[in-house]
Chain A
Amino acid sequence: MNVVAPFEGIGASVRRKEDFRFLQGRGAYTDDFNRQGQLHAWILRSPHAHARIKSVDISAAKAMPGVVAVFTGADMVKDGLGGLPCGWQIHNKDGSPMAEPLHPVIAHEKVRHVGDQVAVAIAETREQARDAAEAIVVDYDVLPAAVSMEAALKPGAPAVHDDVPSNLCYDWHIGDKSVLDAAFAQAHKIVSLDLVNNRLIPNAMEPRAALGEFDRTSGDYTLHTTSQNPHVIRLLMAANVLHLPESKVRVVAPDVGGGFGSKIYHYAEEAIVTWSAGKLGRPVKWTADRSESFMSDAHGRDHVSNAQLALDANGKILGLKVHTYANMGAYLSTFAPCVPTYLYATLLAGTYTTPVIYCEVKAVFTNTVPVDAYRGAGRPEATFLLERLMDVAARETGIDRVELRRRNFIPNDAFPYQTPVALQYDSGNYTATLDQALATADWAGFEARRAEAAKRGKLRGIGCSTYLEACGIAPSAVVGSLGARAGLYEVGTIRVHPTGSVTVLTGAHSHGQGHETTFAQLVTDKLGVPGAQVDIVHGDTAKVPFGMGTYGSRSLAVGGSAMMKAMDKIIAKGKRIAAHLMEASVDDIEFERGIFRVAGTDKTKALVDISVAAYVPHNYPIDEIEPGLEETAFYDPKNFTYPGGCHIAEVEIDPETGKVSMVNFTAVDDVGRVINPMIVEGQVQGGIAQGIGQALLEACVYDADGQLLSGSMMDYTMPRADDLAPVSVATHTTLCTHNPLGVKGCGEVGAIGSPPAVINAVVDALRDFNLRTLDMPATPSKIWGIINAGRQQAAE
């Protein structure tokens, strides 16, 4: 066997290849690209949450120095441009389709949230474009705004869209209500809990940017953009907005500095720069400043729910009933409708054998920024609900919270396990991840630590969450039947060059995940090519045949599987060439890590011998086999993948200030086969940082008029290093049974499992205060309020 030394294959913590350029400032991000004759766009944004546009006067702006053009919504209507499309259609309980109002690229007639695009000024410099935008005079007729979901659903509330007077986007449900009612009738105890899943602002390090170009010779458009899925952007923008053949549009997503979901969607600015580049015959660039990011990147979460759990006398769950309001914001962002439905309600079984589940979801339009998938997308909302409910149920039944979870776990011999909410889990071992986490966190020794903290005047608490998620989206036929307007396969091309080095073209997109390393490890492991000779190419529709992009922890499970399929084709063809060269039968050729061998002999050919023969076919079965060694595969997954595990948080509260400090965090996750343990650890840690951010720090706040109060880093609390705790990350693997790698996905588990663990720990720390509900984030002022009220009550 030809073992590469040092071992760089599956299971090795290979250092990230891409970090050399990132750490040396040699990354090439969208804003780093500059073209000759390039113009700059500045978007004028609405200062009002809701207003009718009476007129837009651009005459002064057009006369400003350096200004080349000023466009408004009316110009787009004149050019016949379409609205920004939604990629998922949900149906109401009665079978009718959801309300899908027009999402104009530039607002026309009405603005619907602070930050909505009203006009674009295009000039020789960015400052000139900004000056011109300031000189545009918009006459607004300010309307009352529907800001909270509660306000938006009140009879007589202002309608965000005139054609959706109720502000209800859809009223959807899953499960059989009559079966559920019967289960509830049998219940020994019903535990009810109201929950808010706080609205978050993603804040990727790199703000969004877009550079549009038009080639007058060919009539081709090129868009460089900060995207997690350039092919999807090309499809949506070309087909729905600009009405161009896809063949005329190239979309490039070069290095991208973080996305967390917020860069999945087709945004107005992408269409604006592409369209105006064509109109003006010059490249047009737009780059968001941080303030624009806060009011124009899709936000995340924002659910208000009631959950009821029915239990028998032994603490076995009999049924779960959930009612959720989900905020869509002012317009439907690309994937928004599927997040609170098929990525949420279908997860409500969690790790438990709940026999019947009924969930209804009302999606609501409000005069706020659109809400869409954000790291975890639906699963953090489901997990928070379920894992908070389990803790409350434990308290109210008097059953230990760990024991209650154990009693309800799906047993190891029950896989494949069909839940009552559509999903079929293929594998897992929830007891093992729980036991390992309890041991690592020294759960048993907690009371001693609590007593020691009490001596220091601190309230210490511990909490766990035994979560499950579904990722690796998704079987196309399944999502199609659920309303997706796209397939969710992935594409991989393996190009073996004459010299034996390999270029991989993948439809997945790396924006922090380390694909250039992990994906190369697959090639090293399977084809025996050293990592230094493997290049991963992604993010360019002109290079990669097609792709659905990176989100939903799908890159390895779906994109990696496509690569494996393509490598199988390479090996199959290579065997035929090897058989010819070694004058043996194809059936006798074995292949392992770069070496073709005639079985039972010492006759071998290396991969490079085969590639040379394939590209220099002098001695070659040319009538039977085509020259060249390049294969493409599309992989459509057979099922979702189901990572799960146990997160344990330990916190200390300063009762004088209410400040919650993380003191320890333990994660034991089953992410399937681990390709690069170091990268998995980094992904999980990053997710946990965001989960702790959601639990303790982050809150998007609007005032009653729809002004964004948390509109900058001065008021929106992003997690910093000292807000976190020592984080112990470990994995416990059960293999995915239906993809060739056995992988499940690790990108989102951290953000999914951690928030309820943290909040359960805070509630535990406050166990003397009889706290039942605690909405995130658990800020110092909120916690102090609870402590203060509790002490005042006790004093009375």
Chain B
Amino acid sequence: MYDFAYHKPTSVADAVKLLADPDAKAVSGGHTLVPALKHRLNKPTALVDLSGIAEMKGIKRVGNAIVIGALTRHVEVANSAEVKAAIPALAYMASHIGDVQVRNRGTMGGSVSNNDPAADYPAAVLGLGATIHTSKRKIAADDFFLGMFTTALDADEILTAIEFPIVDKAGYAKMKNPASRYVMAGVFVSKAGGTVRVAVNGAGPCVFRQADMEAALAANWSPDAVAGIKQDPDGLNGDIHGSAEYRAHLVGVMAKRAIAAAG
């Protein structure tokens, strides 16, 4: 780790001011950033610790949505009675991130801002059509995830909360990478009235929507509806754990399982 200054602001406004320094970095749970610092892959001038900002905490129901503060840890989403009742698939997803230690430290905001292609949260955010609240605006999920580790957030912009619409049905299934246990291929599906969303994570360089499956499911909401749909392996990830073809195949399997889980 290289030396850096450490700040712990108590308001979003103060944090944004500190992040005006282009080489300063926000830190929430630190479960992604701190390992990178220890490997000396990152050399920030300052860390802006967001964990003291009260307005970024908490889970509440607002109308037909669940609004979750960015600092909410995975374990809190997994155990929240509110989330479990309204969007059980979201609680299920959070309860299967990493291991106990990771869920006790890692935050929703950190995970979504980081946009690791193999992370769980982006699939739920995109699959539910959530709205991202930041220090300066609201961004639709469809406009947020831009590419591998890249989002619509500006350098001095803080993700403050995410608003998840309460849908009729939702489900999530993933195949874990045997080594890292991150996502090798995952699918988050949801249905709200006639609107179906299918988000795929792990398989590609960035979470994406599977339009063919969405169309098929809009016509016939059942695992069988996606059985004949082949995910194109072109552009998917391939590595020592599995080829793009294998991941493409897994997208089909996980889609079926996610729909079955959604009921």
Interface residues of A (CB under 8 A from B): 127, 130, 134, 291, 656-659, 697, 699, 701, 709-710, 713-718, 779-781, 784-785, 788
Contact = CB atoms under 8 A, between A and B. Distances in A.
Contact of A715 (B179, B250, B253): B179
A658 B1 CA distance: 40
Contacts of B64: none
Contacts of A710: 179, 240
A701 B240 contact: yes
Contact of A709 (B240, B242, B243): B240
A781 B179 contact: no
A717 B179 contact: yes
A714 B178 CA distance: 9
A657 B246 CA distance: 9
A716 B241 CA distance: 10
Nearest to B1: A127
Interface in B226-263: 239-243, 246, 249-250, 253
A779 B178 contact: yes
A781 B179 CA distance: 13
A697 B180 CA distance: 12
Given A780-B175, A788-B249, A714 B180 contact: yes
A657 B250 contact: yes
B240 A784 contact: no
B39 A715 contact: no
Contacts of A291: 39
Given A701-B240, A781-B242, A713 B180 contact: yes
- The 7 A-B residue pairs whose C-beta atoms are closest, nearest first, are A781-B242, A717-B179, A714-B180, A781-B246, A656-B253, A717-B178, A701-B240
Contacts of B250: 657
Contact of A784 (B40, B178, B239, B249): B249
Nearest to A658: B246
Contacts of A658: 246
22 contacts: A130-B40, A291-B39, A657-B175, A657-B250, A657-B253, A658-B246, A659-B175, A697-B178, A699-B240, A710-B179, A710-B240, A713-B180, A714-B179, A715-B180, A715-B239, A715-B240, A715-B241, A717-B179, A718-B179, A779-B178, A779-B242, A784-B249
Contacts, number: 45
B246 to A, nearest CB: 5
Judged by DSSP, the binding face of A is: loop
Nearest to A723: B178
Contacts of A715: 179-180, 239-241
Nearest to B241: A781
A165 B249 CA distance: 46
A544 B38 CA distance: 40
B240 to A, nearest CB: 5
Contacts of B240: 699, 701, 709-710, 715
A779 B184 CA distance: 13
A779 B253 CA distance: 17
B219 to A, nearest CB: 24
Nearest to B250: A657
Nearest to B252: A656
Contact of B242 (A130, A134, A780, A788): A780
Contacts of B249: 784, 788
Point out which of A658, A697, A701 has the most chain B C-beta atoms below 10 A from its C-beta.
A658
A172 B8 CA distance: 66
Contacts of B40: 130, 134
B246 A784 contact: yes
Given A716-B179, A717-B179, A779-B178, 4 more contacts: A659-B175, A715-B239, A715-B241, A779-B242
Q: Identify which of A656, A699, A788 gathers the most chain B CB atoms within 10 Å of its CB.
A: A656
A520 to B, nearest CB: 36
A779 B177 CA distance: 10
Contacts of B180: 713-715
Contacts of B178: 697, 717, 779-780
A104 to B, nearest CB: 27
Interface in B19-57: 39-40
A779 B178 CA distance: 8
B228 to A, nearest CB: 15
The interface centre, meaning the residue of B40, B182, B240, B250 with most chain A CB atoms within 10 A of its CB, is: B240
Contacts of B243: 781
